[in-house]
Amino acid sequence: MYREFDSVILVRAVADLPADTRGAVVHVHANGGPYEVEFFDARGATIAVETVSATDIRPRGWDGASELGVEDPTPEKQARIARLMQHPTAVTGDEVDPETFYAPRED
C-alpha cells in the first residue's frame, strides 16, 4: 500500500506513459487504492496525472538509485553505509573520542 507523496515508477505503460516513468502519489482513494499519481519528465516537469492500481507501479529504488540506472545496494552495503553515516571516522580509520568529536564547539 502506498501513501501520499511516495515516489513510484510505472511497471507497465499506462495511457500515453511508457513503463519506467517516475511519479509521486498525490492521492490515495478509500481502502488503499487506486492511486492518483503525478508523473514527471527527466527535468521534473509534470507530464500527466493518472489513476493507477498498485500493480501498475512500484516504489522507486533505494535512495533513487534505480532512476540513475544503479542497482540497489545489498543489505550488507546498506548496513555499511548506515554505520559510516553514524560514525564518519570509520571512513578514515582515525581514532576519535565521540564525546569530544560531537560536542558543540565553544568559539
Please indicate, yes or no, if residue 32 is contained in any of the structural domains: yes
Read off the pLDDT band of 106 (50, 70, 90): low
- For residues 71 and 31, what is the distance between their CA atoms, to the nearest angstrom? 32
Please indicate, yes or no, if residue 33 is contained in any of the structural domains: yes
Please indicate, yes or no, if residue 67 is contained in any of the structural domains: no
Query: Is residue 70's pLDDT more than 70?
Result: no
* Shared domain check, 42 and 85: no
pLDDT for position 60? 83
Domain housing 45 = 7-59
Number of domains, the chain: 2
Whether the model clears a pTM of 0.75, i.e. scores above it, the answer is: no
Please indicate, yes or no, if residue 64 is contained in any of the structural domains: no
- pLDDT tens across 27-69, in order? 999 887 799 999 998 888 899 999 999 999 998 865 445 445 5
Nearest to 54 by CA among 9, 15, 17: 9
- For residues 54 and 32, what is the distance between their CA atoms, to the nearest angstrom? 9
Which one-letter DSSP state was computed for residue 77? H
- For residues 12 and 21, what is the distance between their CA atoms, to the nearest angstrom? 9
